């Protein structure tokens, strides 16, 4: 399977002729040759938007996203919240009917139940799903051949980077993503307790959390009421499903995401951590390689003298 599960046709670009006699002096997407800035929010604007969107229901937040954010995609691991978002979008009609493509990061270590759900979602909604995997690996055996056994234990930071962070960055670059819808909610606990509706990461990517205000009970109620397909593992005590090696069922009274990396302080998989954390990690990896190379060179010099 290729890095993307679907191909999207794009009309060939035709340059709009410049009409000097009617040029207004203002840049517009349709008639001006002037370059337009990338999508961005100033801090006061972001604060204002979050204060207003905080009062709205997910349907209204998603309507705002469709009319306001170009290059909009939905990132998903096919958890319940993301499935609610997908179902809400599928019900929009008229001027707001707009298919938002999905981006799925296949770490090559997902449960079979998760992979089976992808096919059911395709059949139900017909949505384009762009699948991205770790570079240079199409299956778990190729991943082991490249990175060794149980990389998530031997070098957790490297695992997060090669399985999740780098594929996400590649997806955003290749698809020209400017904004993404996520499935994060405050009630999931951990660092998500003070989540805003709109965030902007270190790279300028706009992240929208349309169901940030909802509880797990509200999400499950919507799933049941609308017959939305979901991961069968949720019937076995799971509430948040990630890689098979780091996901367990949740006990009564525990946080929704307590089954992820159970017994450890870790609460996020990497793609929602600051980019600077991974820039620092890559620098450390490079310094380590340089030190090892220098050590080997010194050993060779010593042996030859």
Task: Note the pLDDT tens digit of each residue in 178-199.
Answer: 999 999 998 876 665 678 999 9
Q: Given a cut of 80, is residue 94 above it in pLDDT?
A: yes
Check if 65 is active-site.
no
Closest CA to 246 of 257, 256, 237, 235: 257
Backbone angles phi, psi at 13, to 5 degrees: -75, 130
Q: Given a cut of 70, is residue 145 above it in pLDDT?
A: yes
Cα 92 to the center of its chain, rounded Å: 22
Q: Please state, in angstroms and rounded to a whole number, the distance separating the CA atoms of residues 68 and 59.
A: 14
Instruction: Give the active site residue among 105, 206, 269, 271.
Output: 269
Q: Please state, in angstroms and rounded to a whole number, the distance separating the CA atoms of residues 74 and 208.
A: 9
For 271, other C-beta atoms within 10 Å of its C-beta total: 21
Q: Region 218-231: what's the mean pLDDT? A: 96
Q: How confident is the model at residue 271 (pLDDT cuts 50, 70, 90)?
A: low
134, 110 Cβ separation under 8 angstroms: no
Q: Please state, in angstroms and rounded to a whole number, the distance separating the CA atoms of residues 219 and 209.
A: 14
How many Å from the N-terminal Cα to the C-terminal Cα in the chain?
A: 53
Mean pLDDT of the chain: 81
Strands in 179-181's sheet, in edge-to-edge order, are 129-132, 102-105, 72-75, 179-181, 206-208, 198-200
Provide the β-strand partners of residue 129.
Answer: 102
Q: How confident is the model at residue 85 (pLDDT cuts 50, 70, 90)?
A: very high
Which domains are assigned to the chain? 43-259+266-289 (3.40.50.620)
Task: Note the pLDDT tens digit of each residue in 244-255.
Answer: 988 877 766 666
Q: Return the higher-pLDDT residue of 141 and 261.
A: 141
pTM: 0.76
Q: Region 22-44: what's the mean pLDDT? A: 64
Dihedral sign (CA 283, 288, 292, 297): positive
Distances (CA, A) of 170 to 33, 134, 251: 29, 10, 36
250, 259 Cβ separation under 8 angstroms: yes
For residue 199, give both structure tokens.
């965030």
Q: Given a cut of 80, is residue 239 above it in pLDDT?
A: no
Q: Please state, in angstroms and rounded to a whole number, the distance separating the CA atoms of residues 229 and 222.
A: 11
Q: Return the higher-pLDDT residue of 147 and 202.
A: 147
pLDDT attached to residue 38? 72
Q: Given a cut of 70, is residue 20 above it in pLDDT?
A: no
């Amino acid at each position: 399977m290729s890095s993307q599960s679907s191909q999207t046709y794009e009309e060939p670009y035709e340059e709009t002729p410049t009409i000097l006699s009617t040029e207004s002096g203002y840049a517009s997407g349709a008639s001006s040759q002037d370059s337009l800035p990338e999508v961005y929010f100033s801090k006061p604007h972001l604060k204002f938007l979050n204060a207003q969107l905080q009062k709205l229901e997910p349907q209204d937040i998603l309507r705002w996203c469709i009319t306001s954010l170009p290059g909009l995609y939905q990132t998903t691991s096919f958890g319940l919240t993301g499935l609610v978002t997908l179902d809400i979008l599928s019900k929009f009609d008229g001027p707001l009917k707009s298919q938002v493509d999905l981006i799925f990061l296949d770490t090559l270590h997902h449960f079979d139940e998760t992979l089976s759900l992808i096919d059911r979602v395709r059949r139900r909604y017909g949505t384009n799903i762009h699948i991205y995997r770790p570079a240079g690996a199409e299956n778990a055996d190729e991943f082991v051949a490249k990175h060794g056994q149980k990389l998530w234990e031997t070098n957790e930071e490297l695992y997060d980077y090669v399985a999740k962070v780098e594929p996400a960055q590649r997806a955003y670059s290749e698809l020209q993503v400017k904004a993404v819808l996520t499935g994060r909610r405050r009630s999931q606990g951990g660092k998500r307790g003070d989540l805003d509706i709109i965030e902007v990461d270190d790279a300028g990517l706009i992240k929208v959390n349309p169901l940030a205000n909802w509880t797990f009970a509200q999400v499950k109620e919507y799933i049941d009421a609308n017959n939305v397909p979901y991961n069968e593992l949720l019937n076995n005590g799971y509430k948040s499903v990630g890689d098979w090696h780091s996901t367990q069922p949740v006990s009564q009274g525990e946080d929704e995401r307590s089954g992820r990396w159970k017994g450890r302080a870790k609460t996020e998989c990497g793609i929602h951590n600051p980019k600077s954390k991974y820039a620092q990690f890559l620098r450390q990896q490079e310094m380590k390689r340089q030190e090892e190379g220098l050590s080997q060179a010194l050993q060779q010099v010593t042996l030859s003298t």
